[in-house]
Structure formats: C-alpha cells, structure tokens
Amino acid sequence: GDSVTQMEGPVTLSEEAFLTINCTYTATGYPSLFWYVQYPGEGLQLLLKATKADDKGSNKGFEATYRKETTSFHLEKGSVQVSDSAVYFCALSPYNQGGKLIFGQGTELSVKP
Amino acid sequence: GAVVSQHPSWVICKSGTSVKIECRSLDFQATTMFWYRQFPKQSLMLMATSNEGSKATYEQGVEKDKFLINHASLTLSTLTVTSAHPEDSSFYICSASRSSGTYNEQFFGPGTRLTVL
C-alpha cells in the first residue's frame, strides 16, 4: 500500500543553519504531496504542498520539490530560526481517494540560539 | 478562516465507560471529516473517513463497533470510543476538508488527549 518514510529525528540545529528533512514515498498513480508542521501544543498546519511532478511548494522560507523519478519530497530551508522548532510531517494524498492523507512518522526539529 | 475545534481537549475516564469527542468546523462547511490517532512520538494514523449523512469508512484494522463515528451535519462529526480500555489511551485528532480549487485541503483540530484508567 501507499506509504511515506521520512528521516528520523530529533534534528538539532543552530540558528541560521541549513535544514533538510528527507521524505520518500511509495504510491500508485499520482499522489499529491504535503508537508505539515505541528508546533508545541497546537494542531497540524499545512506548510506547503505540490500536486504534480516537478512542482515546487514553498512557504515561510521552506521549499520542497515533487520528484517523481526519485519518489521524494525533501523539505529544505536555507536559514532556520528558533521559532521553526516543531515536528514536521510529510504526507501524501492518494489520487482519487477522497482526500485521505497518509503521514510519515514525523521529524522533530529543535533550533538552538 | 478554516478553523476546526475539538471538544474536549482532554478527558480521563474509567475502563469500560464510553467517551464522545466532538469535531466542529467553525467557519466553513465540511462534507468530509477525518479521524486520526496519534501515539507519542509517532505519526498520525487515519482511523476513518466521515461523510455527512452517510456511514463512515473505516481503515483496515480499526474496529467500527468500538469507534463509532457520526457526521450529523456539515459542521459536526463525533467520535465515540465505546467501552474504553487503557490501550485506547491516545491523542485523537480530527480534520475537516474544504475545497481549495484543484484539491480538498484538510484543516486539523487541536486534538483530544484520552486517558483510560
């Protein structure tokens, strides 16, 4: 079945460091891909999305490109801030299945000043 | 806009009792709502998809008689954990789906922490 695998955390970085969180997926057809963020004590929020191959999603300095050839959707940010500390979830929505989401295991990011 | 609330935010109950969790879309109508379960330090696991006015669709391995889902209106879905046991203790999260042009975006509630003693 469809699945998402993302790098294990926790990831600890210093402020202004470069961030990469790897995400790969297995799916039939053409899923949509998402990154969600969960700040401490809050619900999940959509960070960015890509709905077809080679699309780049971007928001708040974060970027991810839908790579069908490598079945990947890695999250990147050039310069992280302390306020980026959160848990990041990669997810896919299978094509034509009513919008259901399949999540990766989540990666906890901690940014130190 | 697109706010989803859950009530209660946390609940403690005795083993064998039933607990109802509400999920509301506050400022939009949601034809579809989803229920997830999240274990500590783990991912969200989809439990069921709930469509207004019809029976919920449960994921494989989820007991539909134990986790009763009702989607009575376009803004309200409820999850009832029947005869709860300690292994049902978890963080339950709902989401409500709204069309955003080419796809249906999900908006998540803050979650409900259930502890069964």
User: How would you write the pLDDT of chain A (113 residues) with one tens digit per residue?
Assistant: 899 999 888 999 999 999 999 999 999 888 999 999 999 878 899 999 999 999 999 999 999 999 999 999 999 999 999 999 999 999 999 887 778 899 999 999 999 99
CA torsion angle for B84, B115, B10, A91 (degrees, to 10)? -90
Phi, psi of B4 (to 5 degrees): -120, 130
Does B2 reach chain A within 8 Å, measured CB to CB?
Answer: no
B50-105 residue pLDDT tens: 988 888 999 999 999 999 999 888 999 999 999 999 999 999 999 999 877 667 78
For residue A102, the chain B residues in CB contact (below 8 A) are: 46
Chain A contact probe: residue of B31, B44, B57, B113 with most A CBs at under 10 A:
B44
Nearest to B117 by CA among B22, B16, B37: B16
Count, residues in chain A: 113
Select from A7, A100, A105, A108 the residue whose CB has the most chain B CBs within 10 Å, as the one to mutate to test that interface. Answer: A100
Alpha-carbon span A63 to B103, nearest angstrom: 20
DSSP SS3 for A83? helix
| SS3 state of residue A2 | coil
**Beta strands at B44-51 and B4-7: parallel, antiparallel or unpaired:** unpaired
Distance in angstroms (rounded) separating the CA atoms of residues B4 and B6 = 7
Residue A1 in tokens: 């079945």
Q: Find chain B residues with C-beta within 8 A of A93's C-beta.
A: 103
Q: Show the DSSP H helices in chain B as ranges.
A: none
Q: Would you call A101 and B46 a contact, using CB atoms and an 8 Å cutoff?
A: yes
Is the Cβ pair B93, A43 closer than 8 Å? yes
